[in-house]
Amino acid sequence: MHGEETETEESEGSSKPLSIFILSPLNEDTYLQGEQIRFAADVGDEGLNGQQVVWTSNLNGEIGNTRDFTYSELSPGMHTIKATLKDDKGHDASHSLIVIVDKFTWAAYYRKHFDLNPRIGNEPMDSKDVDRILRTTKNFDRKNLSGLDLSGKTFAGVSFVDAFMVHTNFSNARFKDVNLRNATIEHANMSHCEFKDVEFTGVAFNNVDLQGVDFSRMYLREFAFNNANLSDCNFLQTDLSYAEMTNAVLKGANLEQAVLIQAKLANSDLSNVNIRGTKLLDTDLRNANLSGASIKNVTLVDCDVRGVNLNTATLTDVNMNNANLTGARLSKLNFNKVVLYGSNFSDCDLTGSDLSNLNLVDSNFSNAILKSADLSGANLKRVNFKNADLDGAILSGADLEDAIYVDMARNLDTVVGF
């Protein structure tokens, strides 16, 4: 490879010759096709002073005309990048170096940014070779299947150990007696796949489309489903303890009798899910969307439910005593079959909710919105109402013994039964 080259020329009327030095990229830096590359040059302490910088590639021609810019359209190959400083008298100075741009493939990308098995080639297999292996050895260990359309295929008795399958389309495929140990499947489409007797050890389902998959009664402890699409999946009696499901989409999923001990579901979409008899302990549900969910016979003790959205959810025989619900959206809910004493409702929106006849001793409603909420007959001993909005709230028959900061609540003149 050629190294760096610098050419300078003295400008008339100036005590200093023109000079330019490329700060970025460095000589023989390697990039992937389409990657953003920063081009920056030093032209001396006096700056440009009306002079012009022109950047060229021997393969792509002129690519820029400022001191500092980014560019992502270099073609694959070895580029001689030249930065030239010109003045209005025709003098110039230049600095050149080598930049290498490799063809983009998913394997090349993962090899650069992650830890990819060195035995996996940069180019994906041909679909004809896939069909041949399915008819013969059924061995795809350490093969590159990235980006292929393998939808609807049947994989029986197949081994995919350490296979590279990112962005592969497996939708509606059948996996029976399959070994997926340590396979890389990020961003793959596995929607509506059928899994039977599949070895998943070491597999991460992050960013994978798994919509409609039946995971019932599987052992998926500590599995990673971050940012995955799990809409309409069946997790009946599935062990998801310690699973990573942050930002996952589980719309309409069935979590009946699933085990979610210390599972991480922060910012996940659990709208319209079925959570019945589910075991939740120290589960992270911060800012999760549970709107429209059916929640029955569930204990949320020690769960982190700050900022959770339970609007229009159905709650039956739910234990939320001492729960921290700070910032939760709880409007128009019926809490009649929910245990809530000692809970923290600060900054919650409880507009139009039914909290009548509940034991809410020692609860905190500071800064909560309780517009038109029904608290009639509730036990509100030692409850904190500081800055709560009680506009149109119903407090008929409520026990407010030793309640604090009631006088600091807002819209007290509209409260019914106060």
Q: Are 298 and 276 in contact (CB under 8 A)?
A: yes
Peptide bond into 25 cis (omega under 30): yes
Phi, psi of 417 (to 5 degrees): 80, 20
pLDDT at 373: 97
- Residue 72 inside a domain? The answer is yes
- Residue 78 inside a domain? The answer is yes
What three-state secondary structure class fits 276? strand
Tokens (6 digits) for 68: 């500092």
- Residue 138 inside a domain? The answer is no
- Residue 224 inside a domain? The answer is no
- Residue 55 inside a domain? The answer is yes
Tokens (6 digits) for 73: 């359209």
Q: Tell me the C-alpha distance between 152 and 377, whole Å.
A: 59
Q: Tell me the C-alpha distance between 390 and 414, whole Å.
A: 8
pLDDT at 32: 95
Q: Are 63 and 57 in contact (CB under 8 A)?
A: yes
Tokens (6 digits) for 49: 């002073």
CATH of the domain at 59: 2.60.40.10
Structural domain range at position 91: 5-102
Closest CA to 144 of 126, 156, 171, 157: 126
pLDDT at 39: 98
Low-confidence ranges of the chain (pLDDT < 50): 11, 13
- Residue 199 inside a domain? The answer is no
- Residue 85 inside a domain? The answer is yes
Structural domain count, the chain: 1
pLDDT at 9: 57
The separation between the first and the last C-alpha atoms of the chain, rounded to the nearest angstrom, is 86
In what order do the strands lie in the sheet containing 274-276? 274-276, 294-299, 314-319, 338-339
- Residue 202 inside a domain? The answer is no
Q: Are 152 and 175 in contact (CB under 8 A)?
A: no
Tokens (6 digits) for 69: 């810019």
What three-state secondary structure class fits 8? coil
pLDDT at 91: 87
pLDDT at 284: 96
pLDDT at 7: 67
pLDDT at 49: 73
Q: Are 354 and 330 in contact (CB under 8 A)?
A: no
Q: Tell me the C-alpha distance between 108 and 73, whole Å.
A: 17
Q: Are 360 and 336 in contact (CB under 8 A)?
A: no
Beta-carbon count within 10 A of 413 CB: 8
